[in-house]
Structure 1
Amino acid sequence: MTRTLPSLDSLKAQAKQLRRAVAKGNPAALARAGAAAEGFTLREAQLVLAREYGYAGWHELVSAAGDKMIAERDLHRWFAVELNNDTWDQIEQDLSPGSTPAERERALYGAYAAALHWLEVGDEANHARAEHLISATAVAVGLPDVALRHARRCAQLVREHPEAMADWDHAFAAEGLARACAAAGLTREAAGHLARARSLTAALAGAGDRDVLERRLAAEPWFGLG
């Protein structure tokens, strides 16, 4: 008999709690982890939790829990946020053309999947941010043509729907265009977009937003662009 499924957020919290408990040597948690206790990862904790609920894997568990949600809209939003955050984590953990094919595919498909979910529940700002994520991922895995196409789409959305955007969306759009152009070898165009991104970043009202943009602008690769 399967256990009653809690919310998706609760399942995520339970998996993280199990991982932390195993790391601290909690006997009950170690028993639940079994042979996988050494070097126990979040993904392994999710698998243990899924099997405890009577499912073969985490994705099956998440899907079943999602079926219980009152509105499909909530499920789309949850996946959009999760995929967005997971893909940015991969980019920031040195994703590159030298990463394994599986790593590159996971990141790129995750970015596209996030965009699809945002198209179901988001607004123009969410769409623009999703296009920026696809572009950033494509740059990271060595697909400059793909990166440039999505960077330009991001910039188009920001330009056509200014009322939906935060001030930092304009800075991110310029940064994305600069990086994609640099990756594609369009150095002069890249330099212009980079100068605009820096100017927009300096003018941001929020210190936290400004810090995020400054860190993004400082991050490689810039393909030799100063």
Structure 2
Amino acid sequence: MMEHREIAVKCFNSTWDLIDKKDRTEEEVLQMIHMAHASRYHWGEIGTPVNFTRGEWQISRVYALAGMGESALYHAKHALKFCVDHNIGDFDLAFAYESLARAYSVLDLQTEKDVEIARAKDAAELISKKEDKDYFLSELASI
């Protein structure tokens, strides 16, 4: 029987495969949502606040891709809360702001989106690895 960590990793990675897929069917969108939640649940059983932050970020991204802005925003706020409450910085903090900006974009709230993009850019300045910073900025530009 698989353990929590193994299931969490498998679901997280399978969710990424669907995030990266260009043309998802409605069934794949639903599968992506379920897998992201399953991953977060299993990380919640055995993980750390960093895992929780990344899980909430991934769920937010999935909902943004599905066009479900309110759900994306709900999970983006949780990603940021884990960062703030547990002093998690670097690219996790930047991506928490990115997820807020993306959710606001889906909700067509331009002012809020612009505020979070500015916060994300500020947080990006604190990303220690150049390749992580470059990747983050490319993701931010996709909003």
- Per the alignment, residue 215 of structure 1 pairs with 138
Q: Check whether the contact 2:83–2:89 (CA below 8 A) recurs between aligned residues.
A: no
- Per the alignment, residue 84 of structure 2 pairs with 159
Return the offset for 1:79. 1.3
- Per the alignment, residue 46 of structure 2 pairs with 121
Q: Which structure has the bigger radius of gyration?
A: 1
1:93 corresponds, among 10, 13, 21, to 21
Deviations along 1:129-184, whole A, 9 cap, x unmatched?
A: 1011000000001111110111111111111110xx24111101110111011111
- Per the alignment, residue 74 of structure 2 pairs with 149
Q: Distance in 2 between matches of 1:214 and 1:85?
A: 22
Pairing of 1:16-165 with structure 2 (within 5 A): 63=1, 66=2, 75-94=3-22, 99-162=24-87, 165=88
Normalising by structure 1, we get a TM-score of 0.60
Deviations along 1:199-219, whole A, 9 cap, x unmatched?
A: 221331111211221231133
Q: Check whether the contact 2:5–2:42 (CA below 8 A) recurs between aligned residues.
A: yes
Q: Distance in 2 between matches of 1:166 and 1:122?
A: 17
Deviations along 1:27-68, whole A, 9 cap, x unmatched?
A: xxxxxxxxxxxxxxxxxxxxxxxxxxxxxxxxxxxx4xx3xx
Letter in 1 for 2:28: E
Letter in 2 for 1:128: T
Q: Check whether the contact 2:60–2:99 (CA below 8 A) recurs between aligned residues.
A: yes
Q: Distance in 2 between matches of 1:218 and 1:185?
A: 16
Q: Distance in 2 between matches of 1:214 and 1:93?
A: 20
- Per the alignment, residue 55 of structure 1 pairs with none
Unaligned stretches of 5+ residues in structure 1 = 1-62, 67-74
- Per the alignment, residue 129 of structure 2 pairs with 206
- Per the alignment, residue 196 of structure 1 pairs with 119
Q: Distance in 1 between matches of 2:21 and 2:91?
A: 23
Q: Distance in 2 between matches of 1:208 and 1:81?
A: 23
Q: Distance in 1 between matches of 2:97 and 2:73?
A: 12
Query: How many residues are paired up?
Result: 143
Secondary structure class of the residue paired with 1:198: helix
2:99 corresponds, among 151, 176, 187, to 176
- Per the alignment, residue 56 of structure 1 pairs with none
Q: Check whether the contact 2:124–2:137 (CA below 8 A) recurs between aligned residues.
A: yes
Q: Where has structure 1 moved over 6 Å in runs of 4 or more?
A: none
Deviations along 1:89-143, whole A, 9 cap, x unmatched?
A: 2112225xxx322111110001000000100111111111101100000000111
Instruction: Tell me: higher relative CO, structure 1 or 2? Use CA pairs within 8 A at least 6 residues apart.
Output: 2
- Quote the sequence identity (%): 33
